[in-house]
Every structure is written in structure tokens, then in C-alpha cells.
Amino acid sequence: MRIDTRNLYRLPWSVNDNPIGWLEVTDKCNIVCKGCYREELEGHRPLDVLEEEVRRLKELRNPDSICIAGGEPLLHPQICDIVAYVNSLGLKAAILTNAVNLDENLARELKRAGVYNLKLHIDQWQSRPHHKRKTEVELMDLRQSYVELLRKVGGIDATFGATVYRENLQYVGDILAWAQKNIDVVSGLIFLTFRAVPTGGEVELYAGGKRVDPKELRYSTNDATEVGITAADVLDSMRRVYPDVRASSFLGGTMCPDTPKWLLLTHIASSDRSYGFVGPRTMELAQTFHHAVFGKYLTHGDRPRLGPGYFGLSAIDPAVRPGLRRWATDLARRPWRLFDRTLTTQSVLILQGPDHLEDGTVDMCDSCPDMAFFEGKLYPSCRLDELRKWGTLANAHHTDADARRRAESARQKLPIAPPC
Ligand code: SF4
């Protein structure tokens, strides 16, 4: 089902007022993921360089949190120093990790260093030791083992992520249901639709005026059907398990402003009962209130522990009212639910990465939240390997004039082409 972004709240994030700062600490990794954007070219980055980048991110981006990414950040020998430095500047430190190296000792060290959130990326197209060729459903035990570990350590917020391919699209609702059962530990989910640069067809790639081979990029594919999954497909798949699922807010595309590249949902639930999803009014209130009071926008994982207080939002947000009625009915039957300590919110981010349009242009995320430094300037982190290999971002050129015309008319919404 197509998503009508006119009914959603457009997140007010911009390049220089954005709750997220992105810091890549290494390009080394201990597994191979099909959806990875990064190739090993440099190894671990020095601590002083990283500290300088954190300071500059703070100055330029006004972030609430720094997402420490890679490669696999837990391989960096000074990962705890990096976390502590981020923390010392009054920023929340989040780590995007495959969690292969995460054990109780390391979790406790990271906690001591002040880590705020771990984003554990687990999906079925990873060469994960002892879990190769496992299906998305079979990986639930692995996810659960990390939840048990973090529950034992306590005090670390957890988000789970997965890249969405044709093969696991049908399971996103099951992952959401699993996350709800563990809502005390799991504050959010991230579903990233698989994206890659197309190598076939009529597209030629140029960097710095020279033709380059897209196959040099780790994220290239000659199978166009692999890269077509949209945020709307992911939302539709969730509907199988949660029929009332709805999004509240979005970031559009740089070329197609009505394409939801970042689509945000907030689930109000306890571990055994869903009370629906908030609407755009709640997200607007949350973002503007947080900015007015704390001077920064809110990231998708943050959640105040309001318990039943969330239903007070029904005064301004009609989307919350059915949940309030459900909760009131539950309470009449089982009054002890008033003390249900697991009632809270859980965020879901659906990220539809760069789309390569027919005319060769690339539809990126507007106000890209995941911008990283390359030689002192900020670029979308998903395209850093173009800079690292060719010194500049690559431009695509479609040799088929009809395709170029179709894509252009689609963006302008002329009647001869389907919407982009
Ligand atoms: S444009 Fe930015 S937010 Fe979007 S996928 Fe690339 S790095 Fe992530």
C-alpha cells in the first residue's frame, strides 16, 4: 500500500540541527553481511582523530547522540575510551554492532564507560559464526540471548536491527512481536531495506569525469529485483501481525520528497498487550517539546517511562484513543494492570536507503541523519566508499533517453509515468 506522507509529520531535522551524529571508528569487521556498505581499506582509526570528529559533530550537528559505527566498532581496541569521550561531552553514546564480540564482560565495561544504547544488527544474510544459513525465525534465539545478557547487565538501552531482503520481508511482523515481548529491554527496532548500486542495464557510473566500474563497490548488484523493497512493503508486512500498525513521521527523499526514506512508528505496548501506534500529533509534540526544553531534537530510540501516562496523549492525538479504550477495558477486567511496569513505548524505524532512479540520479534521505566526515566534510555515510575509492561521489548516467525522460516526468508527477 502506498504511504501518503501528507498524513504524516515531517521530522524537522536538518543537516545542522540533527539529533544524530555518525562516527565510523574502523572499517574492519569479523563477519560479512550482504547489505554492508563498507570495505576494509584503512583499519582502526586513531583516537585523537575520532575525538576531533566528535567535537566537530557536536559543533556542526547539535546531536543528541553519537552513533559509533564501522565496520565492527567492538573490534576497535579503544572502544571504551571512545564511548567515554562521547559521554564526557554530554552526548549519548550508541554503538551499532553485529554483537559477535559482545559478552557480559564487555557489556559491563561499556556500561562503565557510559554507553547509552546498543544497536544490535542481526539478520539472515550474515556469515555469523554458528549461525550461517539460519532463517530469520531461527535467529530469534540469538536475539533473545542478547536480550538476556543485557537484562542481566542492566542499564543499557537496546535496539535491534535487520536488513530486509525479499527472503525475510515476511518475518518483520514476527520480529516486531518478539521485540514487544522484550519491551523492557528493547527500546526500538530498525529495518533497513536492502540497497545496492545497479551494475546492469543502461546505467554508466562516472567519478571525477572518468567512467568507473560499479562492481568495485561492495554494494553493487546486477539483480534489480533485489533492491526494490520499499518502506511501504515493510509496513504492509507488519500488518500481517499488527493490523492497526501506522507510521507517525518521516523524512522524504532528496529527489522524490513524498517517498518516505525514514519512516518512524511508535508502538505503545506492554510485554503481552499492544495498545496501538501513535499518530503524527504525538511525534510533533515530542520533537518540539524536546527541542524547546533541551535545545535538541529527539532520536528514535528515546522513551520516557510514563507508563499509563502515555494515554494522556489521546487529548491531542486521535491515533492514541483506541489504545486508551483498550487499556480501560483491560483495567476493568484486570485492575492489577494499573501496575504493569512493562507498559511503555517502542520505536520502529524503517529506512529505505538510496534509490537509483531511472535517469541515473540517486534519491537520498533528505537531511541525512547518518552523515560522517570524509576529509573534513560531511557526506552520507552510505556513500563513503565512493569517496574513499574515487575521491568523489559518483554520478550515474542512464544511456537510455526514454528511461531518463520517464524518471524526470515521474518526479514532476506528469501523467505519462508512475509515481517515483
Ligand atoms: S542517505 Fe544518510 S540516512 Fe539515508 S541511508 Fe544514506 S547514510 Fe543513511
Which residue among 363, 381, 387 has the greatest number of ligand 1 atoms within 8 angstroms of its CB, and so is best to mutate?
A: 381
pLDDT for position 382: 95
How far is Cα 367 from Cα 3, in angstroms, rounded to an integer? Answer: 20
Using CA positions, which residue lies closest to atom 5 of ligand 1? 353
Q: Which atom of ligand 1 is nearest to the CA of 369?
A: 3
Distance (Å) from CA 246 to ligand 1 centroid: 22
Low-confidence ranges of the chain (pLDDT < 70): 201, 300-302, 401-420
The pLDDT tens digits for 227-263 are 889 999 999 999 999 999 999 999 999 999 999 999 9
pLDDT for position 408: 63
pLDDT for position 418: 41
Angle subtended by helix axes 79-88 and 47-61, to nearest 10: 30
Helix (H) / strand (E) containing 329: helix 321-333
Q: Which residues line ligand 1 (CB under 6 A)?
A: 261, 353-354, 364-365, 368-370, 380-382
Distance (Å) from CA 14 to ligand 1 centroid: 13
Helix (H) / strand (E) containing 203: strand 203-207
CB-neighbour burial class of residue 84 (10 A; exposed 0-12, middle 13-18, buried 19+): middle
Distance (Å) from CA 91 to ligand 1 centroid: 21
pLDDT for position 399: 74
Q: b/e for 119-141, b at 16 or more Cβ within 10 A? A: bbbbbbbbebeebeebebeebbe
pLDDT for position 412: 56
Task: Give percent of the chain above pLDDT 70.
Answer: 94
Which residue among 382, 383, 384, 387 has the greatest number of ligand 1 atoms within 8 angstroms of its CB, and so is best to mutate?
A: 382
pLDDT for position 41: 95
Distance (Å) from CA 37 to ligand 1 centroid: 11
Which residue among 365, 373, 387, 393 has the greatest number of ligand 1 atoms within 8 angstroms of its CB, and so is best to mutate?
A: 365
How far is Cα 342 from Cα 269, in angstroms, rounded to an integer? Answer: 8
DSSP 308: G
Neighbours of 259 (CB within 10 A): 25
pLDDT for position 416: 37
pLDDT for position 141: 95
Distance (Å) from CA 151 to ligand 1 centroid: 31
pLDDT for position 66: 97
Distance (Å) from CA 378 to ligand 1 centroid: 12
